[in-house]
Amino acid sequence: MPERENQENPIPRFAADCMLGKLAKWLRILGFDTAYSNGWKDRELLSLARAEGRVLLTRDTRLFRRVSGSDRVIFIENDSFRSQIQEVISHLNFLPPPERFFTRCSWCNHSLVDFPRGEARARVPDYVFETQESFAFCPGCERIYWGGTHRRMAKEILDKIRLITECCSKNMG
């Protein structure tokens, strides 16, 4: 789905290979448009990345070799998704602004839309409805998100970003 973006400084979009499901999920939470399916064959992944101008993220050396030389591929070296997030952010030297966080569905990559509180009553547990002010809806998989989920994830993300910042400044120093 095309999005309005600053043309001079577009936010990179990714296509992640089948070994990078957890990384894909976290990149979506951070606001990156990240295509992922564990059912794609290599050639499907490559043609999608090419057709949509996505940066390929891969842990597969064979796949990496097929596109190495291109600036549109990042080889992911680490096993842990925390380190993988660091690798991507360090490689790009870029992190989306916090207002982009939680604007995508972490499950299916769709952009989230505001969901009217009145309609949420029938769709979420009573205690959630009573305690939450705002809700968001994923038109792709029809999941509903609310502040509690977001706050918990925000804390995890902020902890990670601090880690990333420390790591980057150490590397630069």
The helix (H) or strand (E) run that includes residue 52 is helix 42-52
Sort strands 113-115 and 73-75 into parallel, antiparallel or unpaired: unpaired
The helix (H) or strand (E) run that includes residue 14 is strand 14-16
Question: Which residue's CB is nearer to Zn ion, number 108 or number 168?
Answer: 108
Stretch that binds Zn ion, among 23-31, 46-54, 101-109, 150-158 (CB under 5 A): 101-109
The helix (H) or strand (E) run that includes residue 145 is strand 144-146
Count residues binding Zn ion (CB under 5 A): 7
Question: Which residue's CB is nearer to Zn ion, number 96 or number 140?
Answer: 140
Contact flag: residue 113 with Zn ion (CB under 5 A): no
Interface with Zn ion (CB under 5 A), residue from 105, 120, 136, 157: 105
Question: Smallest gap, in angstroms, from Cβ of residue 1 to Zn ion?
Answer: 12
Interface with Zn ion (CB under 5 A), residue from 42, 75, 82, 140: 140
Q: Which of 33, 57, 62 is nearest to 45 (CA)?
A: 57
Question: Smallest gap, in angstroms, from Cβ of residue 82 to Zn ion?
Answer: 23
Residue pair 77/87 in contact (Cβ under 8 Å)? The answer is yes
Contact flag: residue 107 with Zn ion (CB under 5 A): yes
Contact flag: residue 138 with Zn ion (CB under 5 A): yes
Q: Which residues contact 51 (CB under 8 A, 6 or more apart)?
A: none
Residue pair 29/157 in contact (Cβ under 8 Å)? The answer is yes
Residue pair 144/120 in contact (Cβ under 8 Å)? The answer is yes
Contact flag: residue 144 with Zn ion (CB under 5 A): no
Contact flag: residue 108 with Zn ion (CB under 5 A): yes
Question: Which residue's CB is nearer to Zn ion, number 57 or number 138?
Answer: 138
Contacts with Zn ion, residue ranges (CB under 5 A): 105, 107-108, 110, 138, 140-141
